Chains A and B, each alone.
Chain A
């Protein structure tokens, strides 16, 4: 069993110019400071000490097996693609749908479904968009929201997963 921490006090009490610790021992910032001022090197079997990855405890290995990549049961996703719900609301004028579809197209994403309604002078538009990898989501969201700001309507982008998960027993 390795020691969990190496403290400044441990460094002060050690003799010699090198302290050898286990790879998963965490050295406190104060201990590193004291070691530096005393000219003591802290090493592990793998060389100079570097902070190990956090040890989250024995439960985690099992937990992470159960926590699948997606909260949905396997098979319910879109074959590697992600669905995104885009809603836009604002004062109606020609070209709004065009602007939004162009922005979606620029992200190599495809529009699966569209619903548009006008009430008086206002439009309300919902797009169901399919994007290739979840990594693109953040950028798509930022770009569409920025587009809304420039063109004076409100755009909201949410993962379809939120809606799907919310309404399923």
Chain B
């Protein structure tokens, strides 16, 4: 299961609250956050290594999540918060983690001075750091959608793409926005430590699309859909148990609180580690064909049910991720014309996150990006679910061209958002009011 079907612990993420690091002096804030992260995170990699060795289960990534930086940047009154990102980056390098996430702000209803400064600092911050990830809460079911924030965020996405053009707009792969943001999410780019979280907390993300695929292969095409759901549920149960075992052991060895297991089927570009393969085994010809949304709904629900049965600490995003560029099967589906941007949006209504790692042409206008984001935020807002957008306008690339990021981020085929935009909506600004919670039809 571990070797052939790539069952792994996708991430052990140490959450560190930085609320006590706020300081009127920006330089001192940087000093404090660097010191606190290194102080608490120093043993993370060694502990992950030791558990990997003792249990024989690979732990692919070690990461750190921190309090949204906007919350601690306020007292300094600084306009440019890039130095805080640099301090996070330096701490990540010192500790040896691959990503540090939490260059973030909650702006679903409006901006504080610090939130605004943080959003404006994002392009520079992401262009000048290697490991920092940034996320923004732009909407929620209770607050509605802050369209002023959507508008500025879409421009910031384009600016980040421009500043990181030499790496295929890699900066945008580390920038994500959310509706109904999850405060204990261990997966980057959206990881951070929400306001209700403890001083330090160890969260674990488990994956294993390959294991589910293996189980479905053994089940064969003759079984009915209850049997398919049952097999996925049982498999998710096993994966989650391994996650809980590792998470509790890691928390014990780090002497910290154990937070949650996030049981998310997350693909990687490796062959066989694909959500698309699962959907196709479930019975659609190609991912994106009619039936895909229904099969994804079954998959996400069965994963959640198996996970919840296996552990009382299930949290985070838990479900199925569909990051296009990170999934070999999805890349092929886009290449073959099976998976359009519109179908992908439909799939996000039932997956656990949203439009993830979608490449669009570099000359896409801000209003089109804002429209795509607003649509996705609306799906999350109305359906009381988490949705996210991680969109990458790749400079110099047009529809159907390929962009290679390598590593975990994979390969993307640039998708065509169509020739129509939403300029007037974009310029209106304001806020989409929170939706009514009854009359749900």
Residues of A within 8 A of B (CB): 4-5, 7-10, 26-31, 51, 54-60, 63-64, 67, 69, 71, 134, 137-138, 141, 156-159, 161-162, 165-169
Contacts and interface: CB of A to CB of B under 8 A. Distances in A.
A55 B56 CA distance: 30
Contacts, number: 115
Contact of B53 (A5, A30, A55, A141): A141
A162 B35 contact: no
A7 B28 contact: yes
Contact of A63 (B32, B238, B251): B251
A67 B242 contact: no
Given A67-B248, A158-B55, A165-B245, 7 more contacts: A4-B21, A56-B40, A56-B198, A57-B257, A59-B199, A69-B252, A167-B241
Interface of B: 2-3, 17, 20-21, 23, 25, 27-28, 31-32, 34-36, 39-40, 50, 53-57, 198-200, 238, 241-242, 244-245, 248-249, 251-252, 254-258, 309
Contacts of A69: 252
Given A26-B39, A69-B252, A159 B200 contact: no
Contact of B200 (A4, A54, A137): A54
A57 B199 contact: yes
Given A54-B200, A165-B241, A5 B21 contact: yes
Contacts of A159: 54-56
B57 A5 contact: no
Contacts of A55: 199
Contacts of A10: 28
Contacts of B57: 158, 162
A59 B252 CA distance: 13
30 contacts: A4-B21, A7-B23, A7-B31, A9-B27, A26-B39, A28-B32, A30-B31, A51-B39, A54-B40, A54-B200, A54-B255, A57-B257, A59-B198, A60-B198, A60-B255, A60-B256, A63-B251, A64-B255, A69-B252, A71-B244, A137-B53, A137-B54, A156-B3, A158-B56, A159-B54, A161-B245, A162-B56, A162-B57, A165-B244, A167-B238
A4 B2 contact: no
A67 B242 CA distance: 15
B55 A162 contact: yes
Nearest to A139: B53
A132 B245 CA distance: 21
Nearest to A169: B309
Nearest to A72: B245
